[in-house]
Amino acid sequence: MKTQVVIVGAGPAGLLLAHLLKAEGVDCVVLERQSGPYVLSRIRAGVLEQITVSLMERLGLDARIKAEGLPHDGFNLADGERLIRIDIKALTGKQVMVYGQTELTRDLMDAAGPRGLHLIYEAGDVTLHDVESDAPFVTYTVEGAEQRMDARFIVGCDGFHGPSRQSIPASVARSFERVYPFGWLGILADVPPCNHELIYANHDRFALASQRSPVRSRYYIDVPTTERIEDWSDDRVWDELNIRLGPEAAAHITRGPSIEKSIAPLRSFVFEPMRHGSLLLCGDSAHIVPPTGAKGLNLAASDVHYASEALVAYFRKNDADAVVAYSDKALARVWKAERFSWSLTKLMHRFPDDGPFERRMQVAELDYIASSEAAQRSIAENYVGLPV
């Protein structure tokens, strides 16, 4: 079979790209290793930047976001004693939208059939071939039978562990990585949130109070990477949240049984270039941010925005330069989001080697943020998302 663009991976990046290309008349096929329900079972991001919402708007797929999403005008940093509110609306004129990645993915999946998208789930052994040529192709299996899909371009939207990035030879690539000595233990529960806005707390140890709706809460604490989820009963997580979120928030925590509980490792990672020959990379396949600052999904959305513009320019106007420019354009925004996520991670977590000096530096920085509108503006500008 032949198409114009093969997209590997049907996470948010792959699905969003498929919709944007289809809307512009570019043919594509999406190959996903997992089943649809499995993709929807992964609980991840919860905060959307305006760029992500506006892409959904452009596709006319924003009805549920508008109806069920929670627009937030601010969020809080907590130092154990007080809440430092970052009024993102007043400081930037923008809001963020609290809306689960699962729901965004569901909206994109539900619209795929009606809009004639070609998605192939449970595609095995996806392998990329001839990516340096103008006629790359992908082989894969469906129910054990080998298939081949030819294309003009392949876009790797297959996350950190997918095969696309590995198809770029080491001789032309560079990667940059920091692995953090802790992960985030997340808990989802059908209880009202403890606060109407998010709280990122560093009361000696990290905690995040987030939400999915007025009756569904999402909380995180950091734990050493050696911890096993089996050792964290719900009560143990709630006890820890009580301590770490500080007395003001803790007073309003409603406990309840977890409906999901997992540990995600934290990593900063950037792979350059994000295009090689006829292969483009988008989202987690090219870069990972630690979740502090909620940038991962939003970066995937901005990559997809740049990639779709480049591919549409290629197929409409034969503009090959647009495709060549993709990597530099995307990376400029990626590195700024990496910087923000890394700096917020350093500010809000205790590293194993940190001593009293490092702790005092964190306290001093939080105190500075509390007293400086300039510092708050810088955080707000990054949190709502830098311009594309």
Q: Beta-strand (E) ranges in the chain?
A: 5-8, 28-31, 47-48, 70-72, 75-78, 83-86, 96-98, 118-120, 124-129, 137-142, 145-150, 153-156, 174-189, 199-203, 205-213, 216-224, 258-272, 275-276, 279-281, 287-288
Burial 299-313 (b: 16+ CB within 10 A, else e): bbbbbbbbbbbbbbb
* Residue 218, binding choice from ligand DHB, ligand FAD, none, Cβ under 5 to 8 Å by partner class: ligand DHB
Of residues 136 through 175, those in contact with ligand FAD by CB under 6 A are 157-159, 161-163
Site pattern 177..216 for ligand FAD (x: CB under 6 A): -------x-x------------------------------
Catalytic site includes residue 291: yes
Among 5, 45, 112, 281, binds ligand FAD (CB under 6 A): 45
Cα–Cα distance, 362 to 202 (Å, whole number): 9
Q: Segment contacting ligand FAD (CB under 6 A): 41-49, 88-96, 234-242, 325-333? A: 41-49
Of residues 276 through 305, those in contact with ligand FAD by CB under 6 A are 283-284, 291, 294-298, 300
Q: Segment contacting ligand FAD (CB under 6 A): 42-50, 268-276, 308-316, 343-351? A: 42-50
12 belongs to the binding site for ligand FAD (CB under 6 A): yes
Catalytic site includes residue 140: no
Nearest distance from C-beta of residue 95 to ligand FAD, angstroms: 15
Other Cβ atoms closer than 10 A to 61:
18
Cα–Cα distance, 217 to 168 (Å, whole number): 40
Is the Cβ of residue 97 or residue 131 nearer to ligand DHB in the bound state?
97
Distances (CA, A) of 382 to 40, 205, 261, 370: 28, 23, 29, 17
* Residue 10, binding choice from ligand DHB, ligand FAD, none, Cβ under 5 to 8 Å by partner class: ligand FAD
Burial class of residue 177, CB neighbours in 10 A (0-12, 13-18, 19+): exposed
List contacts with ligand FAD (CB under 6 A): 8-14, 31-34, 39, 44-47, 101, 123, 126, 157-159, 161-163, 184, 186, 264, 283-284, 291, 294-298, 300
| Residues tagged active-site | 72, 200, 291, 295, 383
